[in-house]
Amino acid sequence: MDTANAIDAVAGVLDGIGPLAVAVSGGIDSITLATLAADRLGHRARMFHSLTASVPQEATERTRALAQRFGWQLTVVDANEFARSEYRSNPVNRCFYCKQSLYAEIARHTTLPVVSGANTDDLREYRPGLDAARAAGARHPFIEAGIDKAAIRRMARSLGLGELSDIPASPCLSSRVETGIAIEAPMLKRIEAAELAVRALIEASAVRCRVRAAGLVIEIDAASLAKLDAPARAAIATRVASLFDGLLPAFAPYRVGSAFKVTIDDRTRHPA
């Protein structure tokens, strides 16, 4: 499907829904959907962004900047997922509780149907957040139109989002914490600060600060990691250790979702 047809396909889904609320995380998927919804539906599309400790600051800044640029009706809320012990304990289906909290919070502000930026690539992975969406009646226009991540990036360029179409994936900060390790807001602030510090020291397409039972790990995309000399590693290690009470990090190539520990048995025990 070419880009024009992809945009038409998603627009058709949006037209079928009518006035709606877009859950905007600040990543490329949701901001592309929000841009298309605003273009198609005007003020019949409302945008909702959750500002909590798990959301990277740059995602919030990006969302607010786009809302101002395009005139979105943006409401910033607090999904308050940290009030839930189920979320803080960081089980394998943690995302279920996060999305459940988010959709409940949006429902406090509007009766409009909610749409998310989930795409067909997400269907290939264990995504408990999709179960929360199903329970809340949320819809996924990209999935309904058969759109994957690569197509979304092409759509973003066509819709005038420019260099934002190439921003790397930026999942919530809680995704950096190994499954089973309790999540607290101060830990996430240190994680975010560590990643920003690494990016200030080197150029890399992907940086993750992982908190694991075995210790702290800085993951960097393989190409950038291969270029990292001893002085650069030492500088990164020193800066990160200063944020984590002197704990020196190990280094590893970036792997998507490497802090997430899930087995087939987990999926059976946690269908939600």
Backbone angles phi, psi at 206, to 5 degrees: -145, 130
Q: How confident is the model at residue 269 (pLDDT cuts 50, 70, 90)?
A: very low
| pLDDT tens profile 157-168 | 999 999 999 988
Amino acid sitting at position 244: F
- pLDDT bracket for residue 271 (50, 70, 90): very low
- Is residue 267's pLDDT more than 50? no
Q: What is the mean pLDDT of the chain?
A: 93
Residue 264 has pLDDT above 50, yes or no: no
Widest CA span in the chain: 57
Q: Strand, coil or helix: what is 23? A: strand
Q: What is the mean pLDDT of residues 72-85?
A: 96
Taking CA atoms, 163 is separated from 65, 115, 149, 158, 167, in Å, by 14, 24, 16, 11, 7
pLDDT at 125 (0 to 100): 83
Reply yes or no on whether the pLDDT at 175 is more than 70. Answer: yes
Strand arrangement, sheet containing 250-253: 207-212, 215-220, 250-253
- Report the residue count for the chain: 272
pLDDT band at 260 (very low <50, low <70, confident <90, very high): confident
Token output for 250: 């190990």
pLDDT at position 76 over 80: yes
Q: Are strands 73-77 and 215-220 parallel, antiparallel or unpaired?
A: unpaired
5-45 pLDDT, tens digit each: 999 999 999 999 999 999 999 999 999 999 999 999 999 99
Q: What are all long-range contacts of 134-139, with beta carbons under 8 Å and residues at least 24 apart? A: 135/100, 135/272, 136/99, 136/100, 136/103, 136/104, 136/107, 137/113, 138/23, 138/103, 138/113, 138/114, 139/13, 139/17, 139/113, 139/114, 139/115
Over residues 205-230, the mean pLDDT reads 95
Least confident stretch, 15-29, 82-96, 250-264: 250-264
How confident is the model over 212-230, as a mean pLDDT? 95
Please report the DSSP string for 60-114 in residue order: HHHHHHHHHHHT-EEEEE---GGG-HHHHT--TTHHHHHHHHHHHHHHHH--SPE
Per-residue confidence band for 111, with pLDDT thresholds at 50, 70 and 90: very high
Residue 263 confidence (pLDDT) above 80: no
